[in-house]
Structures are given as structure tokens and as C-alpha cells.
Structure 1
Amino acid sequence: AAGCSIVLKPSELTPLTTLRLARLATEAGVPDGVFNVVTGTGVDAGVALSSHAGLDLMTFTGSTPVGRRVMAQAAAHGTRVQLELGGKAPLVVFGDADLDAAIHGAVAGSLINGGQDCTAATRAIVAESLYEDFVAGVAELMGRVVVGDPRDPATDMGSLISVAHRDRVAAMVDRARDAGARVVTGGRVPEGRGAFYPPTLIADVGEQDEIYRDEVFGPVLTVSKHHGDDDAIRRANDTEFGLAASAWTRDLYRAGRATREIAAGCVWINDHIPIISEMPHGGFGASGFGKDMSSYSLDEYLTVKHVMTDITGVARKPWHRTVFASVDAATQGDAR
């Protein structure tokens, strides 16, 4: 529609790619004022945008607490909101799973983007019969991941987004250790400069532990046991989040049950995090609502309008009898 424009505010920690996108849009011929970028912190630029009265739609990608504040600010003006928020994705390994595939999927799924991904695998829920072998296999594979400068071809995983965030991740791991969880590998801030943190595996966590329930947003995977299919599904759903999950099994019926009963916007079978643009992405509960990616995402940005036109010129429509019943009765009486 005429006059439509987009205002995009990136995180204050990662503004350069968004500014580059705006420059490319200009070079591609997008008219001035159609694609706009505003930089700044959330408390100033972010609040100014989410509380602005002139918005038709506010979309936000980020943490659940901030998303709730954005929704409250937008609600003051009745602005529609689409939220893509946090996650605590379970990786459910059933007793018949291909153990080697599950181990590799757990490491890749938990360490992508340094674990700074809302769909990253964070809670491995493993059949008791496979538990110790799974823990040993994941620890061994994580130990082979090279952490360092991402410009070095030998590097597998770079740093976290900031030292402050690295310290937050480290503090959560330290509290888990103090609470009695078993840190199998990683779990210590390395010496030297930068915001680096090693791949970390934490076993024997309780269902009420902070590290099990709260989003870490770092290269940390917890492992706990399940005692059968019912227990596995229950544990997978024992969270306020519902963004993504994976289930590992050779059984078609077990896989079907997992996709039906795990309450998440995306459930992968025998893989974790293969995001593709043709499929919708979005969650339930504290993970937000609405979809991005795929044709479903377009619905968030459209407003449906109902238009009906009568060109007959007839003054009295058939449905008018619902209003003029008494008039009709009187008219019929006069006619008699």
C-alpha cells in the first residue's frame, strides 16, 4: 500500500549487518523512506519504537522478559504484535535411537552459533539404557570442538556476543555445579582475552534446577534420564517455552507420537535445528506467537479487509425483514 514503510532496530551489539542491508537496499533501488534502520539500545530506541502510536505491527525477536514488555508497551495503542522469543529445546533420545546420530546431533544442535540460538538443543532427555554412553559420547565429541578466532579455518566455534553475556553463562554453570550437578566437560572460563566459553556438558540435573528450566543462551547442554515414552514426553513439555524440540528414534509410531504430543512450534525427528526458509518458525507459550519464514510469515504483515458492494439499486433487501418485521405485519394488515 502507498506510504508503507519498515523500521528495523538491530541489537546494539550487532548493528553492522543491518546497516549493510539498508545500504544494499538503497543500491538495489528501494526508495528512500521505505526501509529504515534505527540503531540504539533497547531502553531508548527500542522503547521509543514499541510505544509509538503510529505503528501497524510490531515484531520482536529476543528474550521472553523483553518480549513481554514490548507487548505491554504496544498494547497501549492497540498495536498488533508478533513475538519470536526464548526457548529451552528438549532433545529426546528414546531407547531405540541411533546413539551415534543422537550424539552428533546433540553436539551440533547445542553449539550452533555458540549456543546463542533460541532453537538450540539445551535439554537432552535420554533413555536410562543409553544415558551413560550418551554422556560419554557427547563429552568426547565436545572435547574435540576447537574454540577460537572465527577467522581461522581451524576454528569450530567462536566467542559469545560479549564478555558480559559470557559471564552470565558462566555464572549459571557455576550455580549448577554448586547445586550438585555434574559438569562433565567445559564449565570454566578460559584464560585470555575475549568472550570465549567452552562447550559444556552438565549431567545429573534435576527438573527444578535453574540450569534445566531457564534459557542459558550459550554452549551448554544438560542431560537427564527418562524412564519410558510417557516420562520422556512429560519431561519435554515440562517448560514454559515451546519453540523447538527433537526426538530420536527408529520407530515410526514413536516418532509420530512425539510430533503430536511435544508442545513446540517445530519438532524434528532424528535431527536438530535444520531450519529452512520454506517452513514456518515460531513457538507457543513463553516462546511467543506468530510465524516468521515461509508463506505463513506473510500473514503477520497483512491486514484482511472485507469489502461488499451492492449495485442493484434495490432499496429493500431480503435481510431487512429481521428489522422491519412489525412494519411488514402492519403493512399486511392494512392490505387486508
Structure 2
Amino acid sequence: MPIATISPVTGETLRTFDALTPEQIEQKLQRAANAFRSHRRTSMAERAERMRRAGEILEADKDRLGRLMTTEMGKTLASAVAEVEKCAWVCRHYAEHAAGMLAPRPVDVGKARGEIHFLPLGAVLAIMPWNFPLWQVFRFAAPALMAGNVGLLKHASNVPQSALAIEDVFARAGFAEGVFQTLLIGSDAVGGLLDDPRVAAATLTGSTPAGQSVAERAGRNLKKTVLELGGSDPFIVMPSADLRAAARTAAKARCINNGQSCIAAKRFIVHQDAADEFERHFVREMEALRVGDPMQDGVDIGPLATASIRDEVDEQVRRSVEAGARLVTGGKRMDGPGFFYPPTILADIPESAPAYREEVFGPVALLFRATDVDDAIRLANDSDFGLGSSVWTTDEGERARFVTEIEAGMTFVNAMVSSDPRLPFGGVKQSGYGRELAEFGIHEFVNVKSVWIQETPPDDHPAAE
């Protein structure tokens, strides 16, 4: 895949970039190694000052950066600007809280002094997708850099300008040269980076096959990885729910980011007593969404990021209908230039249909009917994925069962799933492992070191292993 900005609105190639040569990659790796030796010795106060400055730069430059993301991958301008603001938030969050998260923790070990220290690992390779070009990176980079690590970014090939803009933000914020570097490279160069001893760990957000490939290569090198992979999140609606509110949120949850989000709600599991009414509200909400130029005010859904993504979504819908799914609304490619696809609802989906098992990465909602709570949980868990989940009920007993029995890394009650710097983010099953954000995220890429300090000669010794 060429490293290029290709407009999803017109299909026109706007700018191309040459991939780094092996010699240039070597220079950046050595620069990262050198930077780590000095960055790890900086004080938390110094790091926090620079991270706060990064947040200020993002806020001041949010309109330009938002337009850049919209140009490269087609999200609406309003959502792109909001994404930049969220990146500023995560910078501020870790600037404020990282010192406490990483402070040595005392442990009572008797007459000696026990402590747990959290120390940086080195250069962390981040392999990131195009759907949230800034947020996916900053939610890794803010905690990683605050922990004393340095970052190497291999971004998706269709958002090179966004990738370079991120490096520029950290440089302008005062982080030393080499602390955060963008590598304009193809996926074929990732294996060599994982093999290099100067790369200490890796994090990937992307598809399950990509995660398997990175985990296998990193595993051979005994390197830590965090994987945030695909999702087919359930959105469960029970009879006690406010069905109008649930339907409004359902349309937003399915079509956020033009339907291209791992944590977008994808499978809508509705109790049979509420199914007909919910479907009427849901169809009305989906059909009211406006598809068009993402730079224009009032547009709810822009184009899909690439022609191949649009074609894959269209193929999944077509084959699912052929397998017996009922097409409720949408489902036909839109005429004209660009990679647009309309809000679509499929219902009565047989297990043989592609949409039943596969993640559909576009504005396509899948409607299922459940007979009771047990059936809703069964349907929710009948997936290879386990990232997020949303449940709508006012019944405390149902709520407790959903929270404890749904196989997912996140459950939101009467709300759509979202990422928040204060909460850990990640999944189970084929949605990956490890966590980003919150204290759990900053601890993923540190050496959790046990320290035993004996102030006076001991009378005896702790038992050996």
C-alpha cells in the first residue's frame, strides 16, 4: 500500500511520501536508543510540563489538525476537532496523575523496607490504524512518555500527514529529539523492528490477523505487547429501557466515525417484547442521518476511508442478504465519486451470513431478537470478539447479570461505549489483551521492580525460592 494521502471524498491522490530507507530506519532507531538514556533520567515534573504543553498545542491547533484528519480519512470535521480536544485531555490527565501512578509503593515486609518501583522499558513501537489518527496514538504516547519510555510510531499508510503532525506536536512541546519519532514505513518493515534489540515492546491497534502477526514476532523475541483488536460489540435493549433514547444512542453508537470504530455498537440485541417498537425508532434515527462531504456542517456520516473498505462492507451486506438476512434500510452503494456507504440495517440474520460472525467496519447495524435475559447474554457472547458492550435496562437484577456475564473488556449501562483516560480500555478473546488508559495503561510498559532495603544486618534471611 503506498504511503499517501488519498481523499475519501473524491478518490484523488493528494500527496505521496517515500518510505524510509534501511539506513534512515537505522538512524531513527539509534536516535531512539540515545534519547531513552537521557529521557528516563528526566524528572516527572519536567515530563509533566512538556506533556501539558503538548495539550496546549493541540488545543490551539485543533482546527488545522481536525481538517488534516478529515482530509486523510473522511471523518466529519466536527468529530475530528473533538478528537484533537480529547488528545489534549489525555495529555493533561497524565501530566497531572502520572507521578502518583508511578510513585514507589511501600510494602510491609517486616523489619526491612519493601518497595515496588515502576521503571521504563525503552523504545515502544506503536503500530496504529487510520480510523482515529491522533487519538489512537496519544492514548498510548501520553502514558508511555510520562513513564520515561520513548515512542516509535508506525502509522497506517493512508494517514502520513497526521503521523508527521503528531511528531511535530511532541517536538514543539519540548520533548528532546528522538523521544517520539514517526516512521514512514510499510508493514513489511515491522518484523525487522520487532527483532531489533533497541525496541523493547510494542503496542498495536488494528485487525485480529495483524495482532496475531505482531504478537507472534514479538513473542519470538520475548517482548511485551498490548493488542487492541477488532470488535463486534453488543448493544442490548430490554423492555424497561427508554426505547426512544436507546434508539437515538444506537444510531450514534453504530455510525460514530462513519461506522469505523472498534467500539462502535454493531449487534443490536433487543428483547422480543420491545423489538418492534425499537426497530421503528431505530430505522427512523438511521434514515435521518445525513451522508455527505465531511467538511460541511450538518453532515453526520462522511465516506469510508478507502475504496477497499467500502467494497468489503458492500460485499458483506450483499452476501448476508443472499444468505437470508432481511434488509431493513440502506444496503446499496451510493452513486458518484468517493467511498460513501449509507446507514444500513440488517435483521433476521442467519448464522451462515457473513455479518453474523465478521466485524462489519462501516455504518451497518445488525438486529437480533432475544427471548429473555439468558438469550440476550447468549447472543452477546456468541462472538469471537469481546471488546465493549452496552446494555439498556432499569432492572437492577438484569444490570448485575449483564455486568458479570457479558464477555467483554467494557460494559456501559444506559450509555454508549467510549474511551476515557480515567478508565482502562481493552478487550478479551480475539479483541486482544492488555489495557490502555488509566493507571493500568501506564503500567503496561514499565518494569515492575521489587526492592528490598535492609537498613541493619538481619538476624535471619527470608526463605529462598
Question: TM-score under structure 2 normalisation?
Answer: 0.66
Residue 307 of structure 1 and its aligned partner are, at CA, apart by 3.0
1:20-70 deviation per Cα after TM superposition (whole angstroms, max 9, x unaligned):
11112111211111111102322x233333343332211000001110010
User: What residue identity is the alignment partner of 1:14?
Assistant: V
For 2:457 and 2:162, the matched residues in 1 are separated by 58
Q: Do the aligned partners of residues 232 and 26 (structure 1) sit closer, same or farther apart at CA in structure 2, a change above 3 Å counting?
A: same
Root mean square deviation, CA, Å: 1.9
SS of the residue 2:37 aligns to: coil
Q: Contact conserved, 1:52 with 1:74, CA < 8 A, in 2?
A: no
Q: Contact conserved, 1:58 with 1:80, CA < 8 A, in 2?
A: yes
SS of the residue 2:266 aligns to: strand
Q: Contact conserved, 2:319 with 2:353, CA < 8 A, in 1?
A: no
Residue 2 of structure 1 and its aligned partner are, at CA, apart by 2.6
SS of the residue 1:303 aligns to: strand
Equivalent position of 2:156 in the other structure: 11
For 1:48 and 1:39, the matched residues in 2 are separated by 14
Residue 108 of structure 1 and its aligned partner are, at CA, apart by 0.6
For 2:464 and 2:176, the matched residues in 1 are separated by 52
Which of 320, 335, 360 does residue 216 from structure 1 map onto? 360
Gaps of 5+ in 1: 324-336
Q: Do the aligned partners of residues 320 and 123 (structure 1) sit closer, same or farther apart at CA in structure 2, a change above 3 Å counting?
A: closer
Which of 324, 342, 350 does residue 206 from structure 1 map onto? 350
Which of 40, 62, 66 does residue 210 from structure 2 map onto? 66
Equivalent position of 2:185 in the other structure: 40
Which of 5, 8, 20 does residue 165 from structure 2 map onto? 20
Q: Calculate percent identity across the aligned residue pairs.
A: 36
User: What residue identity is the alignment partner of 2:293?
Assistant: D
Considering fraction of residues, name the structure with more helix.
2
Deviating more after overlay: 2-11 vs 86-95: 2-11
User: What residue identity is the alignment partner of 2:296?
Assistant: D
For 2:462 and 2:279, the matched residues in 1 are separated by 73
Aligned counterparts, 1:145-294, within 5 A: 145-294=289-438
For 1:269 and 1:321, the matched residues in 2 are separated by 48
Residue 313 of structure 1 and its aligned partner are, at CA, apart by 5.6
Equivalent position of 2:460 in the other structure: 318
SS of the residue 2:446 aligns to: coil
User: What residue identity is the alignment partner of 2:401?
Assistant: R
**Of the two, which has the highest radius of gyration?**
1
User: What residue identity is the alignment partner of 1:28?
Assistant: A
Equivalent position of 1:300 in the other structure: 444
User: What residue identity is the alignment partner of 1:230?
Assistant: D
Question: TM-score under structure 1 normalisation?
Answer: 0.90
SS of the residue 2:215 aligns to: helix
SS of the residue 1:172 aligns to: helix
Q: Contact conserved, 1:101 with 1:270, CA < 8 A, in 2?
A: no
Structure 1 moving runs of 4+ over 6 Å: 320-323
For 1:233 and 1:203, the matched residues in 2 are separated by 18
**2:283 pairs with 1:139:** yes
Q: Contact conserved, 1:206 with 1:224, CA < 8 A, in 2?
A: no
Equivalent position of 1:327 in the other structure: none
Equivalent position of 1:129 in the other structure: 273
SS of the residue 1:318 aligns to: coil
SS of the residue 1:155 aligns to: coil
For 1:143 and 1:254, the matched residues in 2 are separated by 31
SS of the residue 2:276 aligns to: helix
Gaps of 5+ in 2: 1-35, 39-121, 123-149
1:113-138 deviation per Cα after TM superposition (whole angstroms, max 9, x unaligned):
11111010000011112212222221
SS of the residue 1:58 aligns to: strand
Residue 310 of structure 1 and its aligned partner are, at CA, apart by 4.4
Deviating more after overlay: 11-20 vs 279-288: 11-20
SS of the residue 1:56 aligns to: strand
SS of the residue 1:60 aligns to: strand
For 2:463 and 2:222, the matched residues in 1 are separated by 36
For 1:51 and 1:319, the matched residues in 2 are separated by 41
For 1:246 and 1:256, the matched residues in 2 are separated by 13
Equivalenced residues, count:
320
Deviating more after overlay: 87-96 vs 205-214: 205-214
Q: Contact conserved, 1:181 with 1:203, CA < 8 A, in 2?
A: yes
Residue 205 of structure 1 and its aligned partner are, at CA, apart by 0.7
1:176-226 deviation per Cα after TM superposition (whole angstroms, max 9, x unaligned):
011110111111110000011111100111245320211111111100110
Q: Do the aligned partners of residues 321 and 21 (structure 1) sit closer, same or farther apart at CA in structure 2, a change above 3 Å counting?
A: closer
For 1:32 and 1:39, the matched residues in 2 are separated by 17
SS of the residue 2:331 aligns to: coil
Equivalent position of 1:2 in the other structure: 37
**2:90 pairs with 1:55:** no
Residue 321 of structure 1 and its aligned partner are, at CA, apart by 9.2
Equivalent position of 1:328 in the other structure: none
